[in-house]
Structure formats: structure tokens, C-alpha cells
Amino acid sequence: AAARRRRKLTFDRVSFFAVFLGVPLAIYLLFVISPFVQAFYYSMTNWSGFTAEMDFTGIANYQRLFSDEIFMMSVRNNILLVVVLPIVTIILALILATMVTVGGSSRGQIKGLKNSGFYRVVSFFPYVVPAIVIGIMWKQIFAPSNGLVNGVLVSLGLDQFAAFAWLGRESTAMPVTMFIIVWGFVGFYMVLFIAAIKGIPAELYEAARIDGAGRLRTAVSITIPLIRDNVQTAYIYMGILALDAFVYMSVLNPVGGPNNSTLVMSQQLLTTAFNDGQFGYASAMGVILAIVTLIFAGLVFLVNRIVGGKDTA
């Protein structure tokens, strides 16, 4: 026992823990935890962001948030994005990944569709384009007067779309925005699922084929259960994106869309802090956004564990 204690105090062991544990932990505390703590403190003050003076106001900012109709609208919009975007994106990515890996001929070797490599490149291409460029590009495509979408629809005889403002109408602004975000990310998650499906032994698919399982049954009973952790990871990352979505929203509808129909919390936070000069109040919005994000990730882990998955992403 004495020899074991002496080994624990050797210079090599102490230096190893100091370098590979202490340094990363210190960096994490300094650049991740410290800003969170600082933001939480500011959220309980009336700091304007441009002066050294600030008064401690307790939870007054949080009480004000829940009576702020504009902020609550942004929360509802974020919740809508969290519900729709991950589900649609992951389902489409799973379908595409299955098609290019095991969706080929039902005879012979297990393989994907013909020219599946081409489909991978084309599907992944939108992800390598910066989000700001995607937003600008699609804003021009959906432009009312000279946009490609309206031009095609009018050429097909649908004259009611001659000057249709897709991003300027409350009924279409959010659906169009969600379509653009899905378009930008479905290829990335398709590649993620392709890598996971490639790790599944082909013998399992061959056995399912022999037993008479169809493509849908094979996907539900073999593919999805065996890549459950990858789906969980994708769902969490896509959900976090939906809770932010700042770049897409600020490009497509900088002021939050008609009647704030596309306004998200991050947009309202920026406006409150830099346009209105209410950094304390904006910090409270940031704290709420962080809490909602943590709750979302926790719920995904909980649901995954209940249905038989692992705890790790």
C-alpha cells in the first residue's frame, strides 16, 4: 500500500494529470463556464452594456421576460423549429442514406443504388456552402419580383405567383425558412448515417432478406436500432441548431418576418442588447436560451434511454 501511494506521487503522474487534465479543465472553466456565470450575473442587473454602472435587480428581468409578448413569440418559433427541423431532416437523411447503402437490387450482394457516390457528393454539397451564402442565395430565389420560384410558377400558368412574397407573408415565411435549413443540412446527416450503416454487418441484411423482410421492415428492425446513437447525436445537434438558427433567420428575415412569424430568441437577444442597450435584459434571454437547450438535450437522452439506447451520444 505504501509503495502504491508513492507511485501516485511521482513527477510523471503529477505532470501527466496537470497537463492533460488540469490545463483543459482550466481552459474550459475560463472560456465556457466563466462566461455563463458572468451572463447569469448580468441577467440580474439593469446594465445597459455601455456604462460601468449597474444596479442589481434580482429576478426582475426574468419576470419581465414572461410578460414580453415579442420574446414569448420568439420562444414559440424556436419550439416550432425544434419540433419540425430535426424530425424532417433526420427522416430525409435516413431515407437517402439507406438508399445509397442498402437500397439497391434485392438480389445478389447488398449494395446501394447505382451511382450512389454521385448522390453522396451532390447531397453533401449544400453543407460546404456557408450559411450566410445559402441564406442570400435562397432569398434571391424566393424574391417576389425576379425570383426563380415565381418565374417558374408563372411560366407554368400560375399567374397568382407573379409577385408572391414567400418570405413576406406570415403563412409562408416560416415554412420556406424551414425548407431552406433542411436543404442545407440533410446532406451532412445523410453522410453521417451512411458511415454508421456501413458499420452494420451485411450478413444481418442478408438474413433479413432471406426471412422475407421488405425494405421498410429492414430499416425499422435493423438499420435504425443499430445506428440509434448516431441518430441521437444528429437529433441533438440539429435541435441545438434549431434553437439558434440566427444566421438563416437574420439573412432571410432580418426584422423577424411579418408579425414576428420567424423571430427567434437569438435575434431578439441581439436586438435587445445592441439596438435597445439593455444588456442585462438580453443576458436573461441568453440564460433562458441556454436552459431550454440543456432541457432539450436532456430530454433526447432520456427518451433514447427509455426506448433502449445508451447514455452516450
Query: What residue ranges define each of the domains in the chain, with the CATH number in brackets?
Result: 69-306 (1.10.3720.10)
With beta carbons less than 8 A apart as the criterion, state whether 55 and 45 touch. yes
94-96-101-103 Cα dihedral, nearest 10 degrees: 100
Q: How many CB atoms lie within 10 A of CB 23?
A: 11
Which grid coordinates are listed for 285? 434571454
CA 171 from chain center: how many Å? 23
Helices (H) and strands (E) in the chain, counts: 17, 0
Q: What angle in degrees, to the nearest 10, is found between the helix axes of 228-244 and 279-306?
A: 160
Which pLDDT score, from 0 to 100, does residue 208 have?
Answer: 83
Which pLDDT score, from 0 to 100, does residue 313 have?
Answer: 42
Which pLDDT score, from 0 to 100, does residue 76 have?
Answer: 94
- Distance between CA atoms of 162 and 307, rounded to whole angstroms? 49
End-to-end CA distance of the chain: 38
70-75-78-83 Cα dihedral, nearest 10 degrees: -140
pLDDT in tens, 126-183: 888 899 999 999 999 999 988 999 999 999 988 888 889 999 999 999 999 999 999 9
Burial 54-64 (b: 16+ CB within 10 A, else e): beebeebbbee
Which grid coordinates are listed for 244? 439558434
Which pLDDT score, from 0 to 100, does residue 24 have?
Answer: 86
With beta carbons less than 8 A apart as the criterion, state whether 62 and 284 touch. yes
Which pLDDT score, from 0 to 100, does residue 127 have?
Answer: 86
In the 8-state DSSP scheme, what is residue 169? S
Listed as ranges, residues in the chain with pLDDT below 70 are 1-11, 103-113, 308-313
pLDDT in tens, 22-33: 888 889 899 888
With beta carbons less than 8 A apart as the criterion, state whether 167 and 254 touch. no
pTM for the structure as a whole: 0.84
pLDDT in tens, 293-309: 999 988 888 887 887 65
Which grid coordinates are listed for 149? 420560384
Which pLDDT score, from 0 to 100, does residue 6 have?
Answer: 52
Q: How many CB atoms lie within 10 A of CB 117?
A: 10
Q: What angle in degrees, to the nearest 10, is found between the helix axes of 69-102 and 116-128?
A: 160
Check residue 58 and give left, alpha or beta (phi > 0: left; psi -120 to 50: alpha). Answer: left
Which pLDDT score, from 0 to 100, does residue 189 have?
Answer: 93
Length in residues, the chain: 313
